Structure 1
Amino acid sequence: MKHLQLNNGMQFSWHHTNLEVVHIGLYIKAGTIDEYHYPPGIAHFIEHMVFKGTNKFSFQELSEKIDALGGELNAYTTKTYTCYTIKTLKRFEAEAIELLEEMVFHATFPPEEIEKERQVILEEIKMIEDDDEERAFEQFESELFKGTVFSTPILGTAESVNAITRNMLQSFYYQFYQANNMILSYVGTNEQQIKKIFQQIDCSHSVTHHDKEFKVNHVNIEHHKESMEQAHVILAHEGIGYLDEQSAVYEIINNFYGGSMTSFLFRKLRESLGLCYALYSSVDAYKEGGVLYTYFATDAKNITRCLEEINKIHNELAQGINMQLLTKTQHYLVTNLYMNLDYDGSIMEHMGKSLMLYNKIYEIEALEQKIMNVTLDEVNNALKLFEKAYASYRIY
């Protein structure tokens, strides 16, 4: 895995493969948290619009050229970045790269396509509203992070999406879709050609990012919804940012707490008591801070029992774990680390995200060392977080 910075400021990483399939990812450091003076959902709206026409191609021409590649061209938006990916045969990668460059840097935002896509996004929002788990997290985070840019739903709301104009789309696009605000990650055989294409792109201005305020509000929210088969409950403990030296500690805690089939949550609530089918913990880490989530779905009459058992687990973990459990968890995470990078698409994603988050590519050996260097004292000190009150959300 190698990388360099092109003359226009774009970060370029590459990894050689002997396979016929190539993977290309273009990461733009612009997501929901950058929407400040724009209606919520505009970053996601732009992700849709780059597929809807460019200087060279109409929407129909662009669609036909994408289909002709016979591969996969996808995109997604997060709170902190937007990503466009291509997976295709190396015999088609020249055309694929030219299409990606044309779409990302020369989108035209045709008015008629904006209105069509606005309706598509409104339908996407309705789909989220029908997904009780996703909707629960969205509603919870709107209050959990209230007063900060982290509270905004990625898709926006029906009201905010309807307020987005073509001028707004072009303004956000011009502000953030600059080469010096991007990372190009490539796994293939012709990195020189890729480099040549993208280093010719000019920057009209330098993109700067400012630290955002991050805070976790200690809210306790209850919602009632008719005709629900299950209650959905989320708990949130304040965590740490991904740049914190203790980030690997929280990764370890998350795994033995609720991140695997032998975790405390899984063994107690599902295997022992049979109270839940869906339950897990997860860590969301940003530059400015993070959250350790606990999620479970159960019959509404079991909510209190589940919370009682979870609180017992919290109390037990706050007393600390032993070296045997720590070593087992470290080995589990290291094995998964190597297994996850046993695929070119994952290598492409790893390089792109590593450069975006840390401004360097973490070699797999360094990540292994980071996990194995975590001490029992570090874990047990961090487990004191379970002594603190948590925010909660429930819908039933």
Structure 2
Amino acid sequence: MYTKVVLNSQLSPIFAHQLWNNFMKHNIITLANGIRVLHTYIPYTRAVHCGFVLHVGSRDDGQQPGMAHFLEHILFKGTARRKTFHILNYLESVGGDLNAYTTKEKLCLYASLAAEYAGRATELLTDITFGSVFPEKEIEKEKQVISEEIDMYRNVPDEAIFEDFDELIFPGHELGHPILGSKQSIHSIRREDIQAFVGRHFSGDRIVYSIVGNVTEKQVTRLVDKYLRPLQLPAPAMKRTPPPPLQAQIKSKPIATNQTHEILGGRSYPFRNRKYIPFLLVNNLLGGNAMNSRLNLNIREKYGLTYNISSFFSPYTDSGAWGVYFACEPTNHGRVRRLVMRELRKLREQKVGVLRLNQAKKQLCGQLTLSYENLLTQMLSNAKELLTFGEVVPFPTYLSWVEAVKAEDLLEVANELYQPEAISIITYEGNTRLNGHSLAGEAESKSATLTSS
């Protein structure tokens, strides 16, 4: 099977590229209105994944944090042709899935369904993306829904701390704003604000319609001519400001939980920086999505001090963020932090050996491969690449970039980003009196006192 051959790590890079070019051609159509259509024909599947990906996210909210995410919600609440129920039922009635999400830099509306219904999905997605009417009644209702969503995330420490960390390392900048906004900013949104936001940001140059699956180029061309080509869109008005330099910040606050939560980290590299791939490897070694990471082995497994510990790397178009998150019993907080700093120091001072480096490369390539085997993921990531960089990089190219990394590259990025004086820290200080062991001990102490008296 093609999927077993093209991604085999034993293939030469040249042969892998040849296979990729034969089986995974991307057809890009640029329309007069600026929209780019990105089509990847996959003959071995019976499904299709398609969607609009827009180069607009929470960093473009302006003076109303949460606007892009609010728009994501309200786009499903009615068009000139459909009410909410008809939007939600149109694809689900044939077994399809309709969804959307907002990130710091992108807004994605997409569908997955049987390939025979590609036309149905394209028509619906076009209608809700460009034909929504933003009913006043639905706007007011959705304000309450999103307020509940905000409460849901703020009530979970291991969710809320990531928002507060972004605010800490991007102070006063749009990248530091919560994607959902605040209750105050959400309740200030009016219908005219939504219309103005769409008018500013829905220009064709910021939109890609991506379609991956068992749909031929001829079929896609017909859909494009019928639904996308006639669209009249506003003129380009793209303007983003990169964040200013950061001085390390330290912030803590008490919370009523029996665990202390902490993120320590800082700024990192943007997409396509030459150090992006080496730092992907460093992050994976440190605490990436694997049980053999250094943080997991040397802190959780060796000492049993934490259940949840990991590292992350969040690149953007002009900046990025990295961090280590952990949660532990408050009495163990200082020790866990010291152990984390020790692992960062090791990466700064000790070159990764040849064997371990090769293992790390294989692991990262394998993780990327599994992710890219998901056609929905492929559809969305291809569109994001095209929007951000003007091209779609062949997957084998990514693998070759990973293979080209040297141990010296890992040392370089670790020394640039993991210096103690550059690390910002945010801590949610748990209450030891809420810990079950402390309460039990307190009860035993009281019992002993009563008995002795």
Instruction: Tell whether the structures are fold-level matches, with TM greater than 0.5.
Output: yes
Quote how far apart the aligned CAs of 1:214 are: 4.4
Paired letter, 2:276 = S
2:176 counterpart of 1:176: no
Secondary structure of the equivalent of 2:261? Answer: strand
Match of 1:250 in 2: 279
Corresponding position: 1:355 with 2:380? no
Aligned counterpart, 1:393: 426
Residues 114-162 of structure 1 show CA distances to partners (whole Å, capped at 9, x for unaligned) of 0111110111011011111111111222222112111110000011111
Q: Which residue of 2 aligns with 1:290?
A: 320
Is the counterpart of residue 45 in structure 1 residue 70 in structure 2?
yes
Q: Name which of 114, 138, 146 aligns with 1:89.
A: 114
Is residue 2:332 matched to residue 1:302? yes
Structure 1 residue 280 corresponds to structure 2 residue 310: yes
Q: Say whether the 8 Å CA contact 1:146–1:217 is kept in structure 2.
A: no
1:83 partner SS: strand
Structure 1 letter corresponding to 2:310: Y
- Indicate the larger mover: 99-108 or 196-205: 196-205
Alignment equivalent of 1:231, drawn from 246, 260, 274: 260
Which residue of 2 is the match for residue 30 of structure 1?
Answer: 56
How much has 1:58 moved relative to structure 2? 2.2
Q: The residue matched to 1:204 in structure 2 has which SS?
A: coil
1:59 aligns with 2:84: yes
Deviation string 1:298-344 (CA, Å, 9 cap, x unpaired) is 11111101011112112211113222222111111112222222232
TM-score, length-scaled by structure 1: 0.95
Distance 2:408 2:88 in 1: 56
* More divergent stretch after superposition (206-215 vs 240-249): 206-215
Q: Which has the larger radius of gyration?
A: 2
Q: CA deviation at 1:200?
A: 2.4
Partners of 2:410 and 2:255 in 1: CA distance: 39
> Cα deviation per residue 1:259-287 (whole Å; 9 max; x = unaligned)?
12111111111110111111110101112
Distance 1:313 1:187 in 2: 41
Q: Residues 216 and 356 of structure 1: is their aligned pair in 2 closer, same or farther, counting only changes over 3 Å?
A: farther
CA distance in 1: counterparts of 2:183 and 2:66, whole angstroms: 9
371, 390, 397: which is aligned to 1:366? 397
Which residue of structure 2 lines up, in the alignment, with residue 9 of structure 1?
34
Question: Which amino acid counterpart does residue 277 of structure 2 have in structure 1?
Answer: A
Q: Residue 138 and residue 302 in structure 1: after superposition, are their counterparts in 2 closer, same or farther (change >3 A)?
A: same
Kept in 1, the 8 Å contact 2:51–2:125? The answer is no
Give CA-to-partner distance per residue, 1:27-46, whole Å, 9 cap, x none. 1111111112x311011111
Letter of the 1:31 counterpart: G
Structure 1 unaligned spans of 5+ = none
Match of 2:348 in 1: 318
**Aligned-partner Cα distance in 1 for 2:381–2:317:** 17
Q: In 2, distance between residues paired with 1:266 and 1:337?
A: 21
Question: Scaled by the length of structure 2, what TM-score is found?
Answer: 0.84
Q: Does the 8 Å contact 1:11/1:183 carry over to 2?
A: yes
Shift of residue 222 of structure 1? 0.9
Distance 1:297 1:178, change over 3 A: same
Structure 1 residues 61 and 383: alpha-carbon distance in aligned structure 2, compared to 1, 3 A threshold: closer
- Whether the 8 Å contact between 1:145 and 1:215 is mirrored in structure 2 is no
Letter in structure 2 aligned against 1:257: L
- Are residues 1:122 and 2:147 paired? yes
**Of the candidates 227, 233, 236, which is equivalent to residue 203 of structure 1?**
233
Q: Is the 8 A contact 2:169 2:266 kept in 1?
A: no
Distance 2:148 2:287 in 1: 33
- CA distance in structure 2 between the partners assigned to 1:237 and 1:159 by the alignment: 28
Contact 2:91 2:120 in 1 (8 A): no
For residue 418 of structure 2, give the secondary structure of its aligned residue in structure 1.
helix
Residue identity opposite 1:22 in structure 2: V
Conserved 8 A contact 1:315-1:386 = yes
Identity, % of aligned positions: 25
In structure 1, how many angstroms separate the alpha carbons of the residues matched to 2:236 and 2:201? Answer: 9
Deviation at 1:353, TM superposition (A): 1.9
1:123-202 equivalence runs, <5 A: 123-188=148-213, 189=215, 190-196=219-225, 197-202=227-232
**2: CA distance between counterparts of 1:96 and 1:87?**
8
The alpha-carbon deviation at position 217 of structure 1 amounts to 4.1
Counterpart CA distance in 2 for 1:55 and 1:170 is 15
Q: Distance in 2 between matches of 1:7 and 1:150?
A: 32
Distance 1:369 1:194 in 2: 36
Please state whether the residue corresponding to 2:179 is helix, strand or coil: coil
What is the alpha-carbon distance in structure 2 between the residues aligned to residue 214 and residue 333 of structure 1? 31
5+ long unaligned stretches in structure 2: 1-24, 431-453
Deviation sequence 1:337-360 (CA, Å, 0-9, x none): 222222322221231122123221
Alignment RMSD: 1.5
Whether the aligned pair in 1 keeps the contact of 2:248 and 2:266 (CA below 8 Å) is no
Q: Secondary structure at the match of 1:295?
A: strand
CA deviations over 1:37-56 (Å, ceiling 9, x no partner): x3110111110011001111
